[in-house]
Structure 1
């Protein structure tokens, strides 16, 4: 791991949570109050430098929560914010992390907004939980892992198109 002695982030609901990245090959999320999550990229797969975990291809990624495999489905990441979503199915629950502003992404479980995450695709993840919503320890594990692996936030389509047009002008 990058820094086994790394100081945990102090989550407002779950206490100390540590996110560790091993290059672009592996991400681990752990804490006293949450289940351990690991996300690994196939070591034979070429890593995309734009993505912390190195790929958005679900066939090259393995997500485990508390040692049990979960179904991970990242979208292709094209022009729209929604195309940057990442879905997880685990023990009957459906999670989605999807950008909802330039810096952050919204985490939902079965369509219920649990909180917002901010991360540049590194080990520093910030979670802001919604008031009045029951958030479970596994929700935190999934959110921290996805935010670290894929980053958060995205520009709206109109900003991307404006940038593309501006870049194309002489």
Structure 2
């Protein structure tokens, strides 16, 4: 994993999204035209874990701000199920709960208040792409929520900071058993 990565994603709905990830320093910034700036920081003195782009999944050692307002971040520990790799963020300023949860080997779905907005893909190197479920829903009678700039910024940040996707449960269980084998 490169220690410092600056990449720009071409989002199909929101245009250019800049992602700056520094694994060693434990910082992440997501910004773009019309998008709120999201910053995530790992607490100083926390040794980075190599398999987590931001360096830790410990919520006590991470801070999340959106346009300067601190929000709640709760990444799960990640162990035997795909769902155990979920990341929850609660927006105090907007009153929404977000969930980024693996739904395949390489992708994770982004939900706002339990309703799916789209799918993110990130290999953990700062490169992120989004496929919005509602990208073609621009009419008032369309069902489902439409993604907003806040949703995009937060989704890109969560995907870049924690990566996306997870192995199926059977594979994770087998790996855990094999790690215990002498």
TM-score (norm 2): 0.85
Question: Distance between the aligned counterparts of 2:149 and 2:180, measured in 1?
Answer: 47
Structure 2 unaligned runs (5+)? 138-144
Structure 1 unaligned runs (5+)? none
* TM-aligned CA distance change 1:165 to 1:68, over 3 Å: closer
User: Is the 8 Å Cα contact of residues 5 and 22 (structure 2) preserved in structure 1?
Assistant: no
RMSD: 2.1
User: Is the 8 Å Cα contact of residues 122 and 149 (structure 1) preserved in structure 2?
Assistant: no
Pairwise CA distance, 1:167: 8.0
Partner residue in 1 for 2:142: none
Is 1:17 aligned to 2:17, yes or no? Answer: yes
Question: Distance between the aligned counterparts of 1:168 and 1:152, measured in 2?
Answer: 26
Name whichever of 41-50 and 93-102 sits farther off. Answer: 41-50
* TM-aligned CA distance change 1:86 to 1:165, over 3 Å: closer
Following superposition, which runs of at least 4 residues in structure 1 exceed 2 angstroms of deviation?
A: 1-4, 159-169
TM-score (norm 1): 0.91
Aligned pairs (5 A) from 1:124-163:
124-131=127-134, 132=137, 133-162=145-174
The number of residues matched between the two structures is 168
Aligned-partner SS, 1:116: strand
Question: Distance between the aligned counterparts of 1:71 and 1:19, measured in 2?
Answer: 20
